[in-house]
Chain A
């Protein structure tokens, strides 16, 4: 690992820290302090947007672990969120405490994800993408026709979550709950990436044959990747279901899978920070578009009608432009900006 300027490690443990320098630690602390103060400054609408960002961060980082780090393309991530939402929702409806419900949702999703990950033993690249697409559509059908288990087309109504009698019934209270889960998910993936598992995933992504030759059990590690990624997706789904209070099959359609893939591509494949950037970008894009439309409505009265149609197009356009002009994502740009300041007068 490349040490940063002025850092001299004397132990491996010191070198392997998540935040190796004191400056980084204080910046992270400062950022967390700002995040904790944010809901008291922001209004309810803005808080709800940040809440959605937190949920998307969990989903994006889990997909990034599978697709960005391990190289297994998944077009079924949206449906995995759905599995988590329904499983956690069913637990809640039957009186299981909230933390246990979320955990069950995650575990059930991990199981489902591993079942759909089995084809990854034989398939890769485009064939795996199409297999996971099939998983998405089959699961979507199951959500809609699941009878009492999923509530069919009526969906499932949920009450706000509560931990030991403390009810998370306002945007601000949900904010802290979701912040804790998002931070936990980011830490978890960061730590997986620097463990033996993370290195195995990267070797599988880079070239499966050499990975196998150096002793990586492909089947086992791919299944673990699918399992862990689906677990986090299930947690994100469970949180989303409890946050919105209502689960319906349309929430988890193929569009959701695609927007998660867009998040990790726009943010940066294989980068934890990139997942955060991507989630922020994709969640904020429609909001910015709405705000722009409201501003423009004075000059161009009919625009509100077109915004719905334009939203998808702007999303697609952003995706295309990112792939052509910034294929390594926002995380790469962030690194360049940091390097620019560090090297300031000597850019090259």
Chain B
């Protein structure tokens, strides 16, 4: 029983990072209807920039973290302006493939600068585990969970009350109507890419603190798909819950497969099997807008 409890706790932590990445995905999809296959590589870019600042330039971690966030904003602006804007109005497959191409470019840049070996962050938080409900949990896990919860709270408030947030929701709801009300769509698109890059970078920094980074960290981006499909492609709450559920689910399935069937590596597919089932039963997810018509 304790085995499974431990799995659930670990799943929640990994899931909270999935949620962050999913948040970036949903913000982009909601405002621009672009499906971003490079979400995992945005995580990787943030993680490596923060790593370079702390280890190679010896900047204190907290400052490095904020510089990384600033860098992510610039990265988001650059991507939107140079890659996505020429493709406005193109077909699904073109937009999907351009983000796929972008992910290859980002991955190869990281490999060019930092190679493929695992890099470890300097120790920021203490290592002695804290007891949570009778289970030992590393402080970095708790910090990860709190940080993602905090970001979700901040963005919920941002979308609910701020001028920009309301404009973004209006754009997501009806682009033409929003435009005729005087909302600059291009700014909204740029803003959503910035937000996606920032939350992904935070996810990357957390991941780096948990177990180091290597050039394959972008693989995490694939896990976003089950999470957002489960939650609904255009729902923030869905992203949060979907990430947590998928995180717990894959950890528990993996543990169960290991213990009961002796199968290794089930973690990689558990989420996708669930994904297929969700797509067949409830394609718009738990909280998504029902927009798929029956064919």
A interface residue numbers (CB < 8 A to B): 67, 73, 119, 121-127, 129-131, 133-135, 137-138, 141, 144-145, 208, 218, 254, 258, 261-262, 265, 269, 306, 308-320, 323-324, 327
> Scoring B residues 241 to 280 as 1 if CB is less than 8 Å from chain A, else 0, what string do you get?
0000000000000000000000111101100110110011
> Scoring B residues 215 to 240 as 1 if CB is less than 8 Å from chain A, else 0, what string do you get?
00000001001100100010000000
B40 to chain A, nearest CB (A): 12
Whether the pair B105, A320 counts as a contact (CB closer than 8 A) is yes
A245 to chain B, nearest CB (A): 27
CA distance A35 to B35 in the complex (A): 42
Q: Which residue of A lies closest to B264 (CB)?
A: A145
Whether the pair B87, A324 counts as a contact (CB closer than 8 A) is yes
Whether the pair B276, A144 counts as a contact (CB closer than 8 A) is no
Given contacts A134-B275, A312-B107, A316-B104, contact A218 B222 (CB under 8 A): no
Whether the pair B35, A137 counts as a contact (CB closer than 8 A) is no
CA distance A291 to B2 in the complex (A): 57
Given contacts A129-B35, A134-B275, A323-B97, contact A124 B295 (CB under 8 A): yes
Q: Which residues of A contact B75 (CB under 8 A)?
A: none
A249 to chain B, nearest CB (A): 11
Q: Which residue of A lies closest to B38 (CB)?
A: A316
> Scoring B residues 123 to 148 as 1 if CB is less than 8 Å from chain A, else 0, what string do you get?
00000000000000000000000000
Q: Which of B51-59, B88-96, B191-199, B200-208 contacts A (4 or more CB under 8 A)?
A: B88-96
Given contacts A138-B269, A316-B101, A323-B101, contact A218 B295 (CB under 8 A): yes
CA distance A310 to B280 in the complex (A): 39
Q: Of A123, A124, A311, which is within 8 A of B108 by CB?
A: A311
Which applies to chain A's interface (DSSP): helix, strand, loop or mixed? Answer: helix
Q: Which residues of A contact B276 (CB under 8 A)?
A: 119, 131, 134-135, 138
A161 to chain B, nearest CB (A): 32
Among B101, B266, B275, chain A packs the most CB atoms within 10 A around the CB of: B101
Q: Which residue of B lies closest to A131 (CB)?
A: B279
Whether the pair A123, B101 counts as a contact (CB closer than 8 A) is no
Whether the pair A130, B279 counts as a contact (CB closer than 8 A) is yes
CA distance A297 to B60 in the complex (A): 39
User: Which residues in window 112-127 of B have CB below 8 A to A?
Assistant: 112
Q: Which residue of A lies closest to B281 (CB)?
A: A122
Whether the pair A67, B279 counts as a contact (CB closer than 8 A) is no
Whether the pair A123, B292 counts as a contact (CB closer than 8 A) is yes
Q: Which residue of B lies closest to A120 (CB)?
A: B295
12 interchain pairs (CB within 8 A)? Answer: A129-B96, A134-B275, A135-B276, A309-B111, A312-B104, A312-B107, A313-B105, A317-B101, A317-B105, A319-B100, A323-B101, A324-B83
Q: Which residues of A contact B264 (CB under 8 A)?
A: 145
Given contacts A310-B112, A315-B104, A324-B87, 8 further A-B contacts (CB under 8 A): A127-B229, A138-B269, A254-B222, A269-B93, A313-B104, A315-B101, A320-B105, A323-B94
Residue B109 at the chain A interface, CB threshold 8 Å = yes
A82 to chain B, nearest CB (A): 15
Q: Which residues of B contact A310 (CB under 8 A)?
A: 108, 112
Whether the pair A127, B283 counts as a contact (CB closer than 8 A) is yes
Residue B17 at the chain A interface, CB threshold 8 Å = no
Q: Which residue of B lies closest to A129 (CB)?
A: B96
Residue B103 at the chain A interface, CB threshold 8 Å = yes
CA distance A144 to B283 in the complex (A): 29
In order of increasing CB-CB distance, the 5 nearest A-B pairs are A316-B104, A313-B108, A319-B101, A309-B111, A316-B105
Residue B294 at the chain A interface, CB threshold 8 Å = yes
Q: Of A124, A127, A133, A265, which is within 8 A of B97 by CB?
A: A265
Given contacts A119-B279, A261-B97, A309-B111, contact A327 B225 (CB under 8 A): no
Q: Of B94, B263, B295, which is within 8 A of A121 by CB?
A: B295
Q: Of B103, B112, B263, which is within 8 A of A306 by CB?
A: B112
Q: Which residues of B contact A317 (CB under 8 A)?
A: 101, 104-105
CA distance A67 to B35 in the complex (A): 17
Q: Which residues of A contact B222 (CB under 8 A)?
A: 133, 137, 254
Among B96, B104, B109, B112, chain A packs the most CB atoms within 10 A around the CB of: B104
CA distance A254 to B225 in the complex (A): 15
CA distance A122 to B222 in the complex (A): 22
Q: Which residues of B contact A138 (CB under 8 A)?
A: 269, 272-273, 276
Q: Which residue of B lies closest to A75 (CB)?
A: B96
Whether the pair B93, A73 counts as a contact (CB closer than 8 A) is yes
CA distance A323 to B82 in the complex (A): 12
Q: Which residues of A contact B103 (CB under 8 A)?
A: 316
Residue B182 at the chain A interface, CB threshold 8 Å = no
Whether the pair A262, B283 counts as a contact (CB closer than 8 A) is no
Q: Which residue of B lies closest to A325 (CB)?
A: B86
> Scoring B residues 34 to 66 as 1 if CB is less than 8 Å from chain A, else 0, what string do you get?
010000000000000000000000000000000
Q: Which residues of B contact A123 (CB under 8 A)?
A: 279, 283, 292
CA distance A258 to B97 in the complex (A): 8
Q: Which residues of B contact A314 (CB under 8 A)?
A: 108
Q: Which residue of A lies closest to B111 (CB)?
A: A309
B256 to chain A, nearest CB (A): 16
Q: Which residues of A contact B35 (CB under 8 A)?
A: 126, 129
CA distance A309 to B107 in the complex (A): 8
Whether the pair A130, B92 counts as a contact (CB closer than 8 A) is no
Residue B178 at the chain A interface, CB threshold 8 Å = no
CA distance A305 to B147 in the complex (A): 38
A184 to chain B, nearest CB (A): 27
Q: Which residue of A lies closest to B228 (CB)?
A: A130
Q: Which residue of A lies closest to B98 (CB)?
A: A323
Residue B20 at the chain A interface, CB threshold 8 Å = no
Q: Which residue of A lies closest to B103 (CB)?
A: A316
Whether the pair A262, B97 counts as a contact (CB closer than 8 A) is yes
Q: Which residues of A contact B98 (CB under 8 A)?
A: 319-320, 323-324
B26 to chain A, nearest CB (A): 13
